[in-house]
Structure 1
Amino acid sequence: MKRPFGIIKAVGWATYKEWAAFRSHMAVSILIGPIYFLVQYFIWSAVFSSRETLNGFTLTQMLAYYGIMSCINYLTFDFADWNLQMLIRTGKYVTFVLRPVSHVFFALCQKIGHRSLGFWMEFLPVFLIYLWVFRIDLLPSRPIWAVISVILGFLMTFLVNYCIGLTAFWLTNADGVRSMFHLLRNISAGVLVPLTFFPELIQRVLFFLPFQFMQYVPARVFIGEYELAGFTMSIPQIVGLQALAVLLMWGITALLIRLGNRKFTGVGV
C-alpha cells in the first residue's frame, strides 16, 4: 500500500509545483466562472419573470443548480484525453510502456496534483464569490455524501476522458472525437441545462450513459434529491449506483488499454 500512495504523493506534488508556476492561467477561471453564472442569472431571471416554477425548479433553486454545477466542474476538471492522444500521436507513449507504473495511474496522479492546486486557485475563490456576492446557498444538505459523490464524479470524469484519449490508438489524431465528445458531455452531464428538462425518452437514454455520473449526480446530491427519467432515488442509493458505474467504467478503461497497447507501434508522427 505504501508504494501507490508514494507514487501519488510524488507525481501529484510534482504536477502541483509545475502548474503553480503558471498559476495565472488558473486565475482566469475566477473571472470566467462568475461571468458565465451572471449570464445564466439574467437568462433565468427573464424566464421566471412570468412564472414561479419550471420543471419543479424555482429561480433560487435554478441559480443554486448552476452555481453548484460550476463549482463541481472546478473540482472534476480533466484533460487526460488531450495529454494521452498527444503522447500516442508523437510516439512518446512508448516511454510509459517501459515504465513500472502504468500510464493510466500516472495520469490519475497528475490529475490529483492539478486539481489540488485548482481547489484553492479556482474552486475556493469562486465558491466564496457565489456565496457572498451572489448570495447563492451552495452548502450541501448531506455533506459526507456530497464529498463522496464529488470524488466519484472526479474518477468518472477522468476515466471517460481517458477512454476518449485512447481512441488515438486507432485514429492517431483524436481531436475531432474530442470536440464531439465535449459537446455531448456538456449536454449529457447537465452542464448546459438540467437533464430533467429533456423529453422523457431522452432522459431514459441519459440515465444509462456514464455522463450523468460526472457532474449531474454530484450536483443533485448537493441539492439533496435525485430525479431523472421518472426514477427518484435516495441520496445513498444514487451514490451507490454512481460507485458501481465508476467500477464498470474502470473495467472498460482497462479493456481499451489492453486492446490499444496491442495496436500501438511507438512510431509517432
Structure 2
Amino acid sequence: MSVLRGYTAYVRTAVAIRLQYRSTILASVVVTLVWILLVTRVWSAAFQGREVVAGLTLESTVVYLTLASLQAAVINTPVTWIMSSRVRSGEVLFDVSRPLGYPGQMLALQAGQSMIQVAVMVLVTPVAGLLGGLSGPAGLTAGLLYPVALVLGWVLNALLTLLIGLSAFWTVDNVGITVLYRFVAAFLAGATVPLIFFPGPLRTLAEALPFRFVVYQPAAIYIGQVDGAEALGGFALSLAWIVILAGVVGLTWRRAYRRIVVHGG
C-alpha cells in the first residue's frame, strides 16, 4: 500500500504541475482545434467528387482525423523534457535514491499529465466536433472496444516515451531525439494520414511496428474500419508489445543507472 501511495503522490504532483501552466494548456487546445480544422478541410477537398477512397467515406475519414488529433493531444507528454532537465541538473540523483523505481515514477508523472489533458479534451470535444466532424461510434461493439484500445495505446505510448526519455542518460540533452521521435511516431501511428492510405511497403512497415496501436487502432475501431476478430487480434498484439517494451525499458534503465553523471546542480 505504501508503494501505491507513493505512485499516487507522483500522479497528484503531475496534475498540480500541469495546472500551474494554464496558458500552455490553452495554447495546446487552440493548436489542436486549428489543426483539426485545417486537416479535415484539406481531406474534404481531397474527397471532392468521390464518395469512397481506399474503403473510407469522407465522413469516416473526417471523424477518424478529428479523433486522431484529440488522441494525440491527450498522449503527448513533457516527461522526456523533464527527464532530460533533471539529468542535466543532477536532480535525477534524488529520483533514483527514492524507494520507488525510477521508471515507475516517470510513468506516474505521465499518468498525471494525461489526466489533465483528458479532462481538457473532453471539454473541447464538442467544439472539435463542430470544427472537424465527430459522430458516435460505428456501433455498440465499437463503442465498447474503443476505450480498451485507447488505454492500451496510452500504455504503449508511455513506454515508448519513457525509452526516449532514458536516452538522456547517454546524450544528456535529448531534445533532438525527442523531436525526431515525435515526428516519426506521429506519422507511423496514423495521426495525420490513416494507415489504410499508405502505399504498400510503407503500410507493411507501419503495421509491423507498435505505433499504430497508439492512434490508428483506436480511431479505426471507433469508425468501424477495424472490428471483431481483427480488433481482438490487435489487442493481443498490443499486449505483446507492452510486455516486450516493458522488458526493454527495464533493461535500458539498468544500463542507464550505471551511467548516471551529474552535470551541475
Do the two structures share a fold, i.e. TM-score over 0.5? Answer: yes
Specify the alignment match of 2:261 in structure 1: 265
Distance 1:268 1:211, change over 3 A: farther
Specify the alignment match of 1:85 in structure 2: 84
Question: Match of 1:90, as an amino acid?
Answer: S
| 1:235 and 2:231 matched | yes
| 1:35 and 2:30 matched | no
Q: Distance in 2 between matches of 1:249 and 1:24?
A: 34
Distance 1:76 1:130, change over 3 A: same
Cα shift at 1:132: 5.1
Q: Distance in 1 between matches of 2:138 and 2:72?
A: 15
Specify the alignment match of 1:217 in structure 2: 217
Structure 2 residue runs without a partner (length 5+): none
- After TM superposition, the score normalised by the length of structure 2 is 0.90
Q: Give the aligned CA root-mean-square deviation in angstroms.
A: 2.1
Q: Check whether the contact 1:153–1:213 (CA below 8 A) recurs between aligned residues.
A: yes
- After TM superposition, the score normalised by the length of structure 1 is 0.89
Provide Cα deviations, 1:83-129, integer angstroms capped at 9, x if missing partner: 112222222211112111122111111122222122222x1122122
Cα shift at 1:222: 2.0
Cα shift at 1:253: 0.8
Cα shift at 1:221: 2.3
Q: Distance in 2 between matches of 1:214 and 1:256?
A: 22
Q: Between the two structures, name the one with larger relative contact order (CA 8 Å, sep ≥ 6).
A: 2
Question: Match of 2:198, as an amino acid?
Answer: F
Cα shift at 1:233: 5.0
Structure 1 residue runs without a partner (length 5+): none
Specify the alignment match of 2:168 in structure 1: 168
Cα shift at 1:31: 2.1
Cα shift at 1:268: 4.4
Q: Distance in 1 between matches of 2:133 and 2:176?
A: 40
Q: Secondary structure in 2 aligned to 1:28?
A: helix
Q: Check whether the contact 2:68–2:215 (CA below 8 A) recurs between aligned residues.
A: yes
Question: Match of 2:233, as an amino acid?
Answer: Q
Cα shift at 1:59: 0.8
Question: Match of 1:257, as an amino acid?
Answer: W
Q: Check whether the contact 1:12–1:109 (CA below 8 A) recurs between aligned residues.
A: yes
Q: Distance in 1 between matches of 2:247 and 2:174?
A: 22
Within 5 Å, which residues of 2 pair with 1:184-203? Answer: 184-203=184-203
Q: Distance in 1 between matches of 2:261 and 2:20?
A: 34
| 1:111 and 2:107 matched | no
Identity %: 22
